[in-house]
Amino acid sequence: MSVAEAVKSRTPTDRLFIGGKSVSPASGQSIEVRNPATGELLGTAPDANPADVDRAVAAARASIESKAWRGKDPSEKEKILWRFADVLEKNLDEMAVLASLENGKTVREALRGDVRPAVDALRYYAGWVRRIYGETIPVDGPYLNFTLREPVGVVGAIVPWNYATLIAVWKIAPALACGCSVVVKPSEMTPFTALKVAEFAMEAGVPEGVVNVVTGYGHTTGEAIGRHMDVDKISFTGSIRTARALLKASAESNLKRISLELGGKNPNILFPDCDRKAALEAAFWGIYANKGEVCSAGSRLLVHQDLHDEFVGMLADRAGRMKVGDPLDPASEMGSQISAAQTEKILSYIESGKREGARLACGGSRLTDGALAKGFFIQPTVFTEVKPEMKIAQEEIFGPVLSTIRFKDAEEAVRIANGTIYGLVSAVWTKDIQLAFRMAQEIKAGSVWINTYNGFDSASPFGGYKQSGFGRDLGAYALEQYTNVKSVWVAL
């Protein structure tokens, strides 16, 4: 039996994970989950209804009330989170194959960008458990005043399909470090990895009810979490449209607090004195990693006019040679897009680019040769002569489509960089350190990478400006999301 066959045989079909157990749903509805690269049926996942969500929230609440997790000694919690990381690491290869089967990403991307960093995030937050504490504050009068940081309670973690393991863990790990309990809702297209993560939590010794997973569609399961009166906080990663629905649901229910990690139309800015070889590699993977289905994709390449033609020529040449194909083949550099709908969306953006007068330097079509016809493979695409106001320069495509834009000086580059509704990440390439720092100050984005791209570390905060969202995942900043601060006064 191949690894893929073995992984498929172990997918937890038609199950939810509630109260420490794999359980059948109350909902009679289920969703077919297919491998987007082949069309093959992987299994089915319940479309959890409000009764299922109630059950998961009740299990999480019971674990909060019983203090089964939050009441444990900090050193014990730390050990369990370390073990959680160890169990995930032990299952690294299997998880990478499962992530690839669900999503269409290459196994190598699943390992490098999805599962391995999730292991690190668990270890990083294990290290925080014994360091989350308040302050003593000098106040007027005969008082001792100090603060306690307490778990916010039941967290709804609503996650997308592009990095299904990593983003679930980005929320579970800090929530658990802070003593919270979690109800995770993965995307209906990638439900199985989150169910596995919950099993691993139990294997590591996390008490029942602390990590629960309900699968289902956004308008059913997601809405039920968003509107639940006993969910204290939502940590969301996904689209702006869903973010609006969640803010509305919060406003119309219990005013649960919300943090939002949304999309990006990220500028990668190249000055003529940059290290061209490094910039080329970074620009290439910046857009084509995970088939461009990345919120931090460097989808707008801003190139100084003195470098533009030479650089774009090199990039188009490299993109034209990219190996697109079977995600399970370790030699493949790019896999299949997630779905037919996503593929249609990407192709319609390519048409819009052509219509608006951008020039196609390479790619632009779906690949349908042989076995590729069964999946959703798109050629790595580079547009040149893109104007900042074009649709392909303004809207998040979430596919392997790069828009290159020419600029003449730093002021113009900043203006273009800041000229969208988004502000997630950005990059600047130059050897002029003063210019780089000035740009870093001027660009409105949650991350600025100087002479690098896609710098991620569990210790460094990640999140957006403007409509890319608010609140931060990762780093010490994420702990803010999962704790309440209590001010205690003692009359002396």
Active site residues: 261, 295
CB 357 within 8 A of CB 368: no
Tokens read off for 79:
């050990």
CB of 204 to ligand NAD, least distance (A): 24
DSSP state of 292: G
**Contact region for ligand NAD (CB under 6 A) — 22-30, 121-129, 260-268, 406-414?**
260-268
Per-residue contact track with ligand NAD, 144 to 173, x per CB under 6 A? --------------xxxxx----x------
Binders of ligand NAD in range 351-370 (CB under 6 A): none
The CA-based dihedral angle spanning residues 123, 126, 127, 129, taken in that order and rounded to the nearest 10 degrees? 170
Q: Which residue from 174, 197, 183, 122 is spatially nearest to 155, judged by alpha carbons?
A: 183
Strands 401-407 and 381-384: parallel
Considering only CA atoms, give the Rg of the chain: 23
Comparing CB distances to ligand NAD, the nearer of 91 and 162 is: 162
Quickly count: other Cβ atoms within 10 Å of residue 187's Cβ.
Answer: 25
Q: With CB under 6 A, what is the number of residues at the site for ligand NAD?
A: 28
**Contact region for ligand NAD (CB under 6 A) — 26-34, 213-221, 344-352, 475-483?**
213-221
Quickly count: other Cβ atoms within 10 Å of residue 199's Cβ.
Answer: 19
Assess 238 for contact with ligand NAD (CB under 6 A). Answer: yes
One of 61, 70, 185, 304 touching ligand NAD (CB under 6 A) = 185
Comparing CB distances to ligand NAD, the nearer of 262 and 312 is: 262
304 beta partners: 407
Assess 103 for contact with ligand NAD (CB under 6 A). Answer: no
Assess 295 for contact with ligand NAD (CB under 6 A). Answer: yes
Cα–Cα distance measured from residue 463 to residue 449, given in angstroms and rounded to the nearest whole number: 14
One of 262, 312, 386, 427 touching ligand NAD (CB under 6 A) = 262
382 beta partners: 362, 402
Per-residue contact track with ligand NAD, 214 to 233, x per CB under 6 A? ---xxx--xx--x-------
Comparing CB distances to ligand NAD, the nearer of 204 and 295 is: 295
CB of 227 to ligand NAD, least distance (A): 9
CB 72 within 8 A of CB 64: no
487 backbone dihedrals φ, ψ, rounded to 5°: -100, 120
Assess 188 for contact with ligand NAD (CB under 6 A). Answer: yes
CB 293 within 8 A of CB 398: yes
Assess 52 for contact with ligand NAD (CB under 6 A). Answer: no
Binders of ligand NAD in range 411-430 (CB under 6 A): 424
Comparing CB distances to ligand NAD, the nearer of 34 and 79 is: 34
434 backbone dihedrals φ, ψ, rounded to 5°: -70, -40
Cα–Cα distance measured from residue 53 to residue 77, given in angstroms and rounded to the nearest whole number: 26
Comparing CB distances to ligand NAD, the nearer of 226 and 364 is: 226
Assess 239 for contact with ligand NAD (CB under 6 A). Answer: yes
Q: Give 428's Cβ-side CA count (13 Å radius).
A: 24
Q: Which residue from 186, 158, 415 is spatially nearest to 262, judged by alpha carbons?
A: 158
Assess 242 for contact with ligand NAD (CB under 6 A). Answer: yes
CB 211 within 8 A of CB 168: no
Angle at 172 between CA 171 and CA 174, to 5 degrees: 75
Assess 398 for contact with ligand NAD (CB under 6 A). Answer: yes
Comparing CB distances to ligand NAD, the nearer of 6 and 51 is: 51
Beta-strand (E) ranges in 139-232?
143-151, 154-158, 181-185, 211-213
Assess 104 for contact with ligand NAD (CB under 6 A). Answer: no
Assess 191 for contact with ligand NAD (CB under 6 A). Answer: no
Comparing CB distances to ligand NAD, the nearer of 52 and 396 is: 396
One of 237, 299, 426, 483 touching ligand NAD (CB under 6 A) = 237
CB 187 within 8 A of CB 168: no
Token pair 């049926």: residue: 41
Assess 292 for contact with ligand NAD (CB under 6 A). Answer: no
Assess 187 for contact with ligand NAD (CB under 6 A). Answer: yes
Total residues found in the chain within this entry: 492
Comparing CB distances to ligand NAD, the nearer of 209 and 263 is: 263
Comparing CB distances to ligand NAD, the nearer of 157 and 279 is: 157
Assess 396 for contact with ligand NAD (CB under 6 A). Answer: yes
CB of 326 to ligand NAD, least distance (A): 24
CB 123 within 8 A of CB 148: no
Assess 33 for contact with ligand NAD (CB under 6 A). Answer: no
State the residues that interact with ligand NAD by CB under 6 A.
Answer: 158-162, 167, 185, 187-188, 217-219, 222-223, 226, 237-239, 242, 245-246, 261-263, 295, 396, 398, 424
